[in-house]
Amino acid sequence: MHECFADPEAMRFWNTPVHTKRIDTERVVLRYIDCTPSYYRHWAVADFETDRCLGLVSYHDGHIRNKRAAIGYFINPAYQSRGMATEAVSAMLDFCFEDLGLHRLQAFIDPDNTPSRKLAEKLGFEPEGLLRDHLRVGDSWRDEILYALIRNGRSPGAKVPVLIP
């Protein structure tokens, strides 16, 4: 995980500073392990043959009453563009909908984060609108697109056209 969190390019759209020391990553991973399943949970994405950690997938901001949560994902840059996130996030979506019985999953994605937008759209997420200054990255504010997936990919109701850069 430290290779992910220490990579400035990969951390461009993450809302925590780039980790310069291994201890920063160790602290974060300990927090991830000590999860509150009704609110958040992280999984390591591991290579099937070597068991090497290649990244993470997570849900967070769980809202039990409304049966919704937000999701996050991170793949080590050295292993990106090989379908890792597609496979890992798909498995987590199954868990969230089937095991947790959630109804709606959200993803907040920077308009410039093309790989993340492509991933979300490939998995059936639909853009619902632009949230201005929604994420603080270092000393600056970033807009984010709200993407959502309704259980089983069903999006009841009319599709609202949105203007997104």
Judged by the rule CB under 6 A, the positions of this chain that interact with ligand COA are 10, 13, 73-75, 80-86, 109, 113-116, 118-119, 122
What per-residue string of b and e applies to 78-91 under the rule 16 or more CB within 10 Å gives b?
A: ebeeeebbeebbee
Distance CA 17, CA 15 (A): 7
Strand (E) positions, the chain?
Answer: 41-46, 53-63, 68-75, 104-109, 126-137, 140-150
Cβ neighbours, 10 Å, residue 74: 23
CB of 8 to ligand COA, least distance (A): 11
CB of 81 to ligand COA, least distance (A): 4
Q: Which is nearer to ligand COA, 7 or 100 (CB)?
A: 7
* Cα 133 from chain centre: 18
CB of 90 to ligand COA, least distance (A): 9
Q: Which is nearer to ligand COA, 97 or 117 (CB)?
A: 117
Q: Which is nearer to ligand COA, 81 or 140 (CB)?
A: 81
CB of 86 to ligand COA, least distance (A): 3
Q: Which is nearer to ligand COA, 1 or 150 (CB)?
A: 1
CB of 6 to ligand COA, least distance (A): 13
Q: Which is nearer to ligand COA, 59 or 74 (CB)?
A: 74
Matching residue, tokens 């609110």: 39
Distance CA 150, CA 97 (A): 9
